[in-house]
Amino acid sequence: MRAARRRADAGPPARGGERRAAGGDVATRKRVLGAATRLFAERGFRRVTVRDICEAASANVASVNYHFGDKERLYREVVEAALETVRGFADQAMNAGLAASAEEKLVHYVRAHLVRDPRSAAARRGSVLRDLFRHELSEPTPIGSHIVEQALKPRLRYLATIVEVLLEGRASDETVQDCVLSIQAQCLLPVAAPVAFDMAAPRTRAELERLARHVVAFSLAGVRARTP
Amino acid sequence: MRAARRRADAGPPARGGERRAAGGDVATRKRVLGAATRLFAERGFRRVTVRDICEAASANVASVNYHFGDKERLYREVVEAALETVRGFADQAMNAGLAASAEEKLVHYVRAHLVRDPRSAAARRGSVLRDLFRHELSEPTPIGSHIVEQALKPRLRYLATIVEVLLEGRASDETVQDCVLSIQAQCLLPVAAPVAFDMAAPRTRAELERLARHVVAFSLAGVRARTP
DNA sequence: GCCTGTATAAAACAACTGTTTGAACCGTCA
DNA sequence: TGACGGTTCAAACAGTTGTTTTATACAGGC
């Protein structure tokens, strides 16, 4: 990304051919992608070196550039995959509760953010995006705002529909937005700022359940207080 | 921090003598400190180079190491100064409202976080710490947890005393902590995650005032809902 | 006057970074 | 078998970073 006289486009068969013919196993590319996913989620884009990734993947230093062009395109692919995972996941959750009341949907929404079972594979993959997002918070890059656009905004829109119902459709757009922010803040902060709360915030599953119930009760009362 | 065979301790007269005798003006050290404060607040520790700082301060590359030992100790001094500024500032705010009701204190607390007058010098210096803190969120370092310890924890304790009164002293410690988290989350998120809200969140002074009023109303109702 | 200690400047250093190179490897197919 | 094409590898490259060195300027004490 820094050096380079000009080139950047040698690599594999144009990425899209996807055939990966010769006996060389497909494994390397996948191993690199996996290691990169784990490391980027752990430390963020800048604090991971190409050498770290390749070592973790038992691959040569050149493999990142060979298979992905450069470090940034590798990162984009990691982010894209994480977004894809979460997308299906979230659509499903939103559709599953179509028949539920607004209160029940709120319960579901809050719990989905605050209490995740770390043993579930889906949650573990979801946490990759969450970690990537957290790192992006302090270093705004084009990719960071892409995550916001793709993952956060749809959630905010969904939450707004819930809040509108809770407000009985009688409140202004501004009030809806304010309530959405209040609720989302409670869902996001323990995630966005673990440093700030790892001493005060709950850790065990049961405590997270309690916190989720609290956030729902607190927020329902808050929203009702703003109902005209 | 990376290179260096061993040494790291030449520098000025042991830092503490503070006499800075000869005609060479004291200015350089101060200029470097000022530039570093601005740049660290803007971009965080890792994304600022010693050369950036020295160029901004119109000083030689060596001046950071000469006057502060190394980049990290310069950073610590910046953080320490910002903490000191905010400390007096916060103590004063807390004492000023001793006679106020819990509701009034809450109003004051929320407004202090959400609506700051950028024209006030105190607020501008306070925002340095806020920015440093924001950058620390995603890269936990010893210094980051030091900021939490020195700046955030006292606020949480203060907020807890307010909430206890609002709960009429009848709620459990857990409930108090939950409410504190709900309120602090609303105060902190627009700060911690501007990326997430710069499209949805208010920007003008008047909008921030409105948001602050909302957060107070929302939170008061939330707390009351949790009063036994 | 000279010597001493502080401050600044320019250049060099060593480690680290992303990237590129050129040779070697190894299946496939003619 | 031998050329071919995708893949891997060790080494090198060029730029950046924090830090150190060496030299110089300049004040005050003797």
DSSP class per residue in A177-198: HHHHHHHHHHHHHHHH-HHHHT
- Tell me which of A71 and A16 has the higher pLDDT: A71
Percent pLDDT > 90 in chain B is: 51
Candidates B44, B180, B197; nearest CB to A138: B44
Residues whose beta carbon sits under 7 Å from strand C: A 1-8, 10, 21-23, 48-51, 61-62, 64-65, 70-72; B 2-3, 5, 12-13, 20-22, 24-25, 27-29, 59-63, 66-67
Residue range(s) of every CATH 1.10.357.10 domain in chain B: 75-225
State the pLDDT at residue A88.
77
Chain D: positions less than 7 Å from a protein CB are 5-22, 26-28
pLDDT at residue A217, as a whole number: 98
pLDDT on residue A40: 95
B115: which chain A residues are within 8 Å (Cβ-Cβ)?
A: none
Q: Please check the confidence at residue A5 and state whether its pLDDT lies above 50.
A: no
| Test the A interface: residue of B136, B181, B210 with most A CBs within 10 Å | B181
With CA of B14 and C1' of each nucleotide, the nearest comes out as C6
Q: Is the CB of B7 under 7 A from strand D?
A: yes
Q: Is the CB of B65 under 7 A from strand D?
A: yes
- Pick from B147, B166, B182, B216 the residue to mutate for testing the A interface (most A CBs within 10 Å): B182
| CATH number, span A77-225 | 1.10.357.10
Within chain A, which residue ranges are assigned CATH 1.10.10.60?
27-68
Q: Could you tell me which residue, A129 or A202, shows the higher pLDDT?
A: A129
| Candidate from A175, A185, A225 with C-beta closest to B189 | A185
Tokens of B25: 């003006």
Statement: residue A11 has pLDDT above 80 = no
Tell me the CA–C1' distance in angstroms for A11 and D3: 22
CATH 1.10.357.10 maps onto chain A at: 77-225
Each as own residue / partner, the long-range contacts of residues B94-102 (CB below 8 Å, 24 or more positions apart, any chain) are B94/B158, B102/B162, B102/B165, B102/B166
B115 close to B209: Cβ distance less than 8 angstroms: yes
Would you say residue A25 has pLDDT above 90?
no
Region A183-209: mean pLDDT is 78
Optimal mutation site among B145, B186, B204, B226, interface A, most CBs of chain A within 10 A: B186
A222 contacts B195? CB cut-off 8 A = no
Long-range contacts of B33-42 (CB under 8 A, 24+ apart): B33/B74, B33/B77, B33/B78, B33/B81, B36/B64, B36/B74, B36/B75, B36/B78, B37/B78, B37/B81, B37/B82, B37/B128, B40/B75, B40/B78, B40/B132, B40/B135, B41/B127, B41/B128, B41/B131, B41/B132, B42/B131
pLDDT at A1 over 60: no
Show the low-confidence residues of chain B (pLDDT under 50). 1-24
Reply yes or no on whether the pLDDT at A16 is more than 50. Answer: no
CATH class of A27-68: mainly alpha
CATH topology of domain B75-225: Tetracycline Repressor; domain 2 (1.10.357)
Q: pLDDT higher for A14 or A129?
A: A129
